Each structure stands twice: as structure tokens, then as C-alpha cells.
């Protein structure tokens, strides 16, 4: 990478995300094959799994070891409230096992493993240390341990997202996509042929994408599977947004769940702009990955009234798209503000990511034209 300021941080982050993806793959296979009790509902009825807590503990511990626990601030999605309940003892035991099995593999990823297995108390502490609220000053790591938990549970798309905010700006982004087909047009092919991820060769599935602010480059490398040794950056290749600027030819993404985005309003905007293709509905930040590597041109997200977007759902993906040559703003055309805590405060209606200025300009105009008739 040309931006040398965050060389160590990027080096550690890429390796840690590879480790986290390794952990997630193993947990997902166990979850799907055994239907074991690895999923819990949080107080807000959202899902959380063994993988969510295990990844957060693993990433927290590795970052603390690399940079010193006293020197890092981590903003992350999970806490230990549900995990600490007596009825969660079985799932807590699974988390402890998953974390220690993952950390034992650290040398394969060029990282230092602990001298001995972490205790339950140490793992709960590692999760709890991710309690920062971010803000405009200093450096803050931002982690979504499993973005797209429903996709993860269903054996579909999900992502491990790790970013760094420095004085209010996202300066580093790493996005692990364990079920994202590596070959070009893999996501479209999967959608069109209604394939399950398990029906695609494992050699064709899984990637980690990364970038730093100001580099003007985003990179992708294949996921490191069990029988492979970690090689970085030699195995990485540059990715770039699509050059398509004709709406009739553009592919656009949106969330799968209607609770996360108003599909009818998005359809109205798409019709106004002249988009002809059916939306590619994808779980997680993989939508940003699809834009960054040129597999889709547009991602629109219009949350219903009252919903507040969290920074961990967007930070890594936004930077990937921007450094790959794309644009990401709110629906009023303003940059997203990651400096105001855990929420994207002041967001104008929704989020629009696209491959270039022409499409972006048309989409912003269509939003204004469609907004008065919406019920958002």
C-alpha cells in the first residue's frame, strides 16, 4: 500500500480478519450440520451466535497483544450481557472453545498465539473491552464481528468487518467475506442460479478485501483455507469499481430484509433512474464488496423512520468503495460522518453507494423526486 502511515495496523488487521474468517467458517459448518444451540436472541430480538462473540473476543485479544490494551479503543457490536446469563452457560463454553482453537492457529497467519489457553474470564473480558463509543478525537478500531448474522445462520453471505477511525475519519478498512465467490460475477451467478454457497467449489469461495485512506487502491486476496499457508500481500490483486454508467445496464444491491430497508421506495427510485435489472438482494456488507470489485454498480439503503445506522455496519465497506474509485454519501449527497459516536448521526434519509459520479448524480435526483410520495 502507498499510505505508509498505517502499515503496521493494516498488516495486523488483515491477518486478524483472516483468522476471524477461519473461525466463522468452522462455526458455520457446525451450526448448519448439527443445528446445535449456537444462536441466541438479544434484548432487541436481533440474533447473535457463537461466532459473533468468538470473533469479537479473538480480534480484541489480538489487537491488545499487538498494540497494548491500554493503547487501543475498540467500538464493537456485541457485549456480554446475554452471554453472561446462567442459561447461556452452554453457548459460553462453545465460545471459549472456538476462541482458543482459533488463537492456536495464530502462527499460521503470522501472529503470536497465547502461551496457554485463555480462561472464560479472560475471554469475557476481551469481549467487554470493546466498549468504546468512538468520537472525533483519537484512534478507534471499529468491529462488526459477524455482519449479516441471519445470512450466517442460513449458510449465506456475511462479513467480518474491521476498520480504523482516526480523528473522525475512516482511514483503514478490512472486509472478510467467507462465502463471497472469488471469481468475477460470482455473486450474480449464485443469485441467478439459486445456488447455495455449499454448491460452489471451496476453492472459488471466500475473500478478504482491504484498503487505506488516500491510497486510491483497494485490494482483494483469496481466503486462507485450512490446508493453505498465509501469503500477504503477494496473493492480493487490485480491485476497481465498474465503468458502467448507463442505468439500464447497472446492477444494484439492497438488503434482503425489508426491516433494514424500504424495498418499495428503492424500487421507485430505481424506476425513476431507469434501472432495469432486478435488485441483487444480499446480506451484510458484501454489498459494498460487490461495488468495490465491479460486480455491481449501485447499493441503496433507506431505513425506516426511527432506525439509526451504526458505524460498524458501514465503515470498512465505505472506504473500500471510495478507494476503489466509487462514491458513498447519504441520500442528500453528503459524506457519511463517522466522528459522532456509534451512530451515523445527521444521516439524510438513506445511504447511496455507486461506481461513479454520473450514476450518483442521477440517483440523488431520483431520491428527491420520489421522497414526497414516500411514507418513510
**Span 142-167, pLDDT tens digits:** 999 999 999 999 989 999 999 999 99
Q: Are residues 288 and 235 in the same domain?
A: no
- Residue percentage of the chain with pLDDT more than 90: 74
Q: Is the pLDDT of residue 333 over 70?
A: yes
Q: Please state which of the ranges 3-12, 155-164, 254-263 shows the lowest mean pLDDT.
A: 254-263
CATH number for the domain spanning 254: value is 3.40.190.80
CA 162 to each of CA 19, 21, 103, 254, 325: distance values in angstroms, whole numbers, following the listed order: 12, 12, 18, 21, 20
Half-sphere exposure of 228 (CA within 13 A, CB side): 15
Domain boundary among 199, 223, 239: 239
Q: Is the pLDDT of residue 276 over 90?
A: yes
Q: Are 211 and 268 within one domain?
A: no
Active-site residue, selected from the candidate residues 52, 156, 262, 330 = 52
pTM of the model: 0.93
Of 49, 58, 149, 212, catalytic: 149
Q: Angle, nearest 10°, between helix axes 89-103 and 120-128?
A: 90
Question: What confidence tier does 196 reach under pLDDT thresholds 50, 70, 90?
Answer: low
How high is the pLDDT of residue 135? 96
In whole angstroms, what separates CA 84 from the centre of its chain?
26
User: Does the pLDDT value for residue 209 go beyond 60?
Assistant: yes
Same domain, 73 and 152: yes
218-222 and 205-212 strand pairing:
antiparallel
Residue range 176-198: mean pLDDT, rounded = 68
Rounded to whole angstroms, how far apart are CA atoms 89 and 19? 25
The answer as to whether 22 is a domain residue is: yes
Reply yes or no on whether the pLDDT at 337 is more than 90.
yes
Between residues 178 and 193, the one the model is more confident about: 178
Report the distance separating Cα 285 and Cα 146, nearest Å. Answer: 10
Which pLDDT belongs to residue 197?
53
pLDDT tier, 342 (very low <50, low <70, confident <90, very high otherwise): very high
Residue 149 is a catalytic residue = yes
pLDDT of residue 203: 56
Together in a domain, 72 and 139: yes
Residues 34 and 117 in one domain: yes
Region 222-233 average pLDDT: 73
Residue 376: inside a domain: no
Averaged pLDDT for residues 352-356 = 97
What is the span of the domain harbouring residue 67? 4-239
Cβ contact 223:178 at 8 Å = yes
User: Is pLDDT of 67 > 70?
Assistant: yes
For the chain, percent of residues with pLDDT exceeding 70: 88
**Choice between 192 and 325, residue whose per-residue pLDDT is larger:** 325
Q: Which residues are annotated as a binding site for Mg(2+)?
A: 77, 144, 147, 313
The pLDDT value recorded for residue 191 is: 57
> What pLDDT, on a 0 to 100 scale, did the predictor assign at position 376?
47
Residue 1 has what pLDDT?
43
In this predicted structure, the answer to whether residue 374 has a pLDDT above a threshold of 70 is no
3-class SS of residue 273: helix
Q: Is residue 53 located within the same domain as residue 134? A: yes
Number of domain units in the chain: 2
Q: Is 211 in the active site?
A: no
Task: Calculate mean pLDDT across residues 245-254.
Answer: 96
Amino acid at each position: 500500500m502507498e499510505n505508509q502511515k498505517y502499515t503496521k495496523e493494516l498488516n495486523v488487521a488483515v491477518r486478524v480478519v483472516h483468522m476471524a474468517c477461519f473461525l466463522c467458517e468452522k462455526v458455520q459448518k457446525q451450526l448448519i450440520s448439527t443445528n446445535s444451540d449456537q444462536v441466541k436472541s438479544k434484548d432487541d430480538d436481533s440474533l447473535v451466535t457463537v461466532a459473533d462473540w468468538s470473533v469479537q473476543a479473538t480480534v480484541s485479544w489480538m489487537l491488545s497483544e499487538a498494540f497494548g490494551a491500554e493503547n487501543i479503543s475498540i467500538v464493537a457490536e456485541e457485549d456480554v450481557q446475554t452471554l453472561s446469563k446462567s442459561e447461556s452457560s452452554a453457548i459460553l463454553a462453545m465460545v471459549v472453545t472456538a476462541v482458543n482453537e482459533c488463537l492456536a492457529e495464530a502462527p499460521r497467519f503470522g501472529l503470536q498465539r497465547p502461551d496457554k489457553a485463555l480462561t472464560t474470564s479472560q475471554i469475557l473480558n476481551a469481549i467487554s473491552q470493546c466498549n468504546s463509543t468512538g468520537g472525533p478525537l483519537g484512534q478507534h478500531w471499529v468491529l462488526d464481528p459477524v455482519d449479516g448474522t441471519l445470512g450466517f445462520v442460513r449458510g449465506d453471505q456475511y462479513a467480518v468487518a474491521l476498520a480504523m477511525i482516526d480523528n473522525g475519519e475512516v482511514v483503514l478498512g478490512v472486509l472478510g467475506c467467507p462465502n463471497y465467490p472469488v471469481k468475477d460475477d460470482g455473486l450474480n451467478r449464485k443469485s441467478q442460479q439459486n445456488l447455495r454457497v455449499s454448491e460452489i467449489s471451496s476453492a472459488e469461495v471466500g475473500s478478504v478485501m482491504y484498503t487505506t485512506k488516500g491510497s486510491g487502491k483497494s485490494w482483494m486476496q483469496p481466503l486462507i483455507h485450512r490446508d493453505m499457508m498465509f501469503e500477504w500481500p503477494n496473493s492480493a490483486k487490485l480491485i476497481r469499481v465498474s465503468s458502467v454508467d448507463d442505468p439500464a445496464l447497472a446492477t444494484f444491491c439492497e438488503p434482503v430484509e425489508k426491516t433494514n430497508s424500504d424495498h418499495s421506495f428503492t424500487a421507485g427510485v430505481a424506476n425513476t433512474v431507469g434501472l432495469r435489472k432486478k435488485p441483487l438482494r444480499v446480506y451484510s456488507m458484501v454489498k459494498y464488496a460487490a461495488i468495490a470489485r465491479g460486480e455491481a454498480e449501485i447499493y441503496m439503503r433507506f431505513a425506516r423512520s426511527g432506525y439509526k445506522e451504526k458505524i460498524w455496519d458501514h465503515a470498512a465497506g465505505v472506504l473500500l468503495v471510495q478507494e476503489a474509485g466509487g462514491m458513498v454519501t447519504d441520500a442528500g449527497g453528503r459524506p457519511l460522518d463517522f466522528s459522532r459516536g456509534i451512530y451515523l448521526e445527521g444521516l439524510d434519509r438513506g445511504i447511496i453507494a455507486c461506481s461513479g459520479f454520473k450514476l450518483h448524480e442521477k440517483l440523488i435526483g431520483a431520491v428527491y423526486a420520489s421522497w414526497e410520495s414516500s411514507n418513510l
